[in-house]
Structure 1
Amino acid sequence: MAQQGSGQQAADEEPLEFTDDTVDAAERELAHRERGTARPITVVGNPVLHKRCRDVTEFGPELAALVDDMFASQRAAEGVGLAANQIGVDLRVFVYDCPDDDGVRHVGVICNPVIDELPAEQRRLDDSNEGCLSVPTAYASLARPDYAVCRGQDLEGKPIVVRGTGYFARCLQHETDHLEGYLYIDRLAKRDRKDALRQMAEGTPRYETVPND
């Protein structure tokens, strides 16, 4: 993808075993959410959304508590993915509770995520609509690969590799973009970006947001 961070691994390198993030998905999400507290969502224009986040280097109780709050915030906002900077935290971690195109539920957390670059022959683009909790009430068509491999670390700092197709692939790419300091509207043509911001200005968020000064 354009403007990804450094340190990407090529898709043809020896992969780690893919993480099965579908096992006990509902139970794991509920446990995180019940321990956490929902926080308001930052919106486009907030400086924390427009810069690359700091790497996660400490894997302990503070990170675990943050992730619990992120799951609670994601559910309160009825989202399928949430990056730490969307609740004002400058840290490279995101959570997700997202179905794939077959309706299979994926739940997990990825620290320091990197999206593999796909060979040209494997890049099949899906131009479905995309939305973002940080651009509330707005949607726009955006072409992204319909398959994604995301490498990172779990809450204990252990390496993980998550793969997704369709809607879930879009989620993995969208949330990784957030931690690089990009919103999906930054990938749109100028006219489409302007239209998304108009939709946001005319709409009313269904969840609490952080007003920009």
Structure 2
Amino acid sequence: MTENLLLTAADIFATLVFATTGALVASRKEMDLFGFMWLAAATGVGGGTLRDLLLGVPVFWVVDPWPLAICLGVAVLLHFTASRVQSRMHLILWMDAFGLAFAATAGTVKALEFGAGGLVAVVMGVFSGSLGGILRDLLGQEPSIILRREVYMTAAALGASTVVLTRLAGAQDWLAALLGFVLALALRSAAIRWSLALPVFRPRAGRDYS
């Protein structure tokens, strides 16, 4: 029961935060109310939908429509209030960090609960944490967040790996999820604050055959 409550709470928080970022992008693009709803819903439930489809389990918002209702409610609210937010891009980045941490943790925990191995669970966590932001940027015609140099998917992988490793070490589920969330959020927050980035590929000059 505790595990189910933990997973449900993480899913709801991730949905709420990602839906908010989707609606804020819609406000930047000056969309109508249905545009707000579309972006909020796609961002809010996108990652969890892919996770459940890959795991072969019922999609969470089809079984219980509350997450979808939350997305639509957030969209309607922000359609009338988003203009009061002075720095929407700054807010989007920080809320996205929370959504990433929540979703990566929830995705990993759910994969483990349904019998996935450690590596598969980590990949599910990364998918869950990153897909919502990818869909938001794609649909909102924003530069994709995964193409920016700051650490992003690495933070999701860190959180997911922490959940798996701490559970293998015998930690209780709630503690593993909490540690995963904290570390993912800390790394992503540090990346935003100090523009942290991993080394990137540098192509070498081709050979001169002349």
Common fold, TM-score beyond 0.5? no
Q: Which has the higher helix share?
A: 2
**Which has the higher relative contact order, 1 or 2, with Cα contacts under 8 A spaced 6 or more apart?**
1
